Amino acid sequence: MNQQKKKLFIGLGVLVVLVAAYFALTLAKQNRAEMDEEGNYIVTNVPDLTAKTVAITQEGETNTFQEEGTEWVWVGHESEKLVQISIDQLVAYAKGLEASQVVSEDKEADGATYGFDTAKLVEVTGEDGTVISLSVGDQTVDEPGYYVTESTKDEIFLVDAEAGKALSRGILELRSRIPDYVDYNNCKNITFTNQDGSSYTISKNQEEALTPGYGEYLLSGVYAQSMPVVTEVLTEQVGAPLDEIAVVEFLDNPGDLAQYGLDTPRMTIFAEDMDGNTCTIWVGDDCDDLTTYARFSNRDYVCTISKEN
């Protein structure tokens, strides 16, 4: 091989190396997050995306939420009530997520260090088929924040506590823990029925109150005739405790209600406000020293609630 051919082959080899290096650097650059004018890393930036579904995978279980009209529903559990604002917040952060730091340039090598071996996967799918895929790792120890990765980028990012908390909410935090809404400050009537069938009702006085704050509501079923109620006491001892009732623990697929004392509840509470909103709460046996079993109207589960209420 003459000298000219050798130089040609060497030149071609160098060119191949340079081209390969160029494409490698270009690809690496594409897999790196850019920074905004304020020095934050742009993890995601698709503000015009119209989200259609949200899938959350944690501990091998995937729960999917789908937007129907103006509300999110839990696929397969459509009767369950959700905390709508929490899902909206999750979607908002997923569409436009910024990070204050890059803590690692290699998520594959360093993922376990930051909790991504047991991470929560969040996938938001838009109407156009675009998928935002984020993984949420550990929460930081020394400062408030969460570690996050994005499927198309190599880095591990540190996002602030508010964004991390919104993205890391699991199904238990997205399920509504409260009974059907009733405005206890504008109540029409509340009826308490005991296990033995006895009951009493607190109802709005259809006539004028005797004095402001006294006689606006009447108590019936206890005495021979209806008795006026002190509104302030009613609010403190009835309205506020009812308004604060919330699930402590969900018991899905509860089976026989008798095991919870809910086949013949020790108390049934029915409330209705002046706007027509209604709610029924059935109270069963004690679960432990702090909680008791209960059921709410329009819910499929049995739950526990605090005895304080």
pLDDT in tens, 143-166: 789 999 999 999 999 999 999 999
Under the banding of pLDDT at 50, 70 and 90, the label for residue 2 is low
pLDDT at 275: 96
Residue count of the chain = 309
pLDDT at 144: 87
Give the span between the Cα atoms of 202 and 191, in whole angstroms: 6
Please report which confidence band the pLDDT of residue 280 belongs to, taking 50, 70 and 90 as the band edges.
very high
pLDDT number for residue 40: 85
Checking 279-283 for CB contacts under 8 A at 24+ apart, the result is: 279/179, 279/180, 279/181, 279/182, 280/180, 281/179, 281/242, 281/245
For residues 18-31, b (16+ Cβ closer than 10 Å) or e, as one string?
Answer: eeeeeeeeeeeeee
Residue 21 banded pLDDT, cuts 50, 70, 90? very low
CA-wise closest residue to 299 among 79, 71, 63, 82:
79
**Mean per-residue pLDDT for 164-182?**
94
Q: Which residues of 207-245 are buried (b: 16+ CB within 10 A; e: fewer)?
A: eeeeeeeebbbbbeeeeeebeebebeebbeebbeebbeb
Q: What is the pLDDT of residue 29?
A: 46
Under the banding of pLDDT at 50, 70 and 90, the label for residue 37 is confident
The stretch 209-223 carries a mean pLDDT of 89
Cα-based angle 75, 76, 80 (whole degrees, multiple of 5): 80
Q: Which of 93, 92, 101 is nearest to 157 (CA)?
A: 101
DSSP assigned state of 195 = T
The confidence score (pLDDT) of residue 8 equals 46
Q: How many CB atoms lie within 10 A of CB 302?
A: 24
Give pLDDT tens digits for 7-17.
544 444 544 44
Over the chain, what is the mean pLDDT?
89
- Please, are residues 77 and 165 in contact by the beta-carbon 8 Å criterion? no
What was the pLDDT predicted at 19? 39
Per-residue model confidence (pLDDT) at position 175: 95
What integer pLDDT is reported at residue 81 of this predicted model? 92
Q: What is the DSSP letter of 82?
A: B
pTM for the structure as a whole = 0.76
Distance, in Å, from the CA atom of 109 to the CA atom of 88, rounded to the nearest integer, reads 33
